[in-house]
Amino acid sequence: MSTMNISLPDSLKHFVDRQVADRGYGSSSEYVRELIRHDQDRQRLRGLLLEGASSAPGTPIDDDYFAALRKRAQDQ
């Protein structure tokens, strides 16, 4: 694992310290790692949404679609 040092103004350092204490993180590093993972997830979701928005329309989702989906789930 690599190490990264960051500088924070006192107000942000106190905020991070409160989050670590209040939310049960083991360290400030653990808190920052979770923030980075959430940002990665958000960016991945944004990419998928943009991809879906720019794709051609698919088949309509109606009662038949959900019936087939339920059947497929039950058969597995």
DSSP state of 4: -
pLDDT in tens, 7-18: 999 999 999 999
pLDDT in tens, 20-55: 999 999 999 999 999 999 999 999 999 999 999 999
Distance between CA 20 and CA 25 in Å, rounded?
A: 5
Contacts of 17 (CB under 8 A, 6+ apart): 28
- For the chain, what are the domain ranges? 7-56
Percent of the residues in the chain that have a pLDDT greater than 70, as a whole number: 100
What are the Cα distances from residue 61, in Å, to 51, 57, 66?
Answer: 19, 11, 7
Instruction: Give CA–CA dist 13/19, Å, rounded.
Output: 10
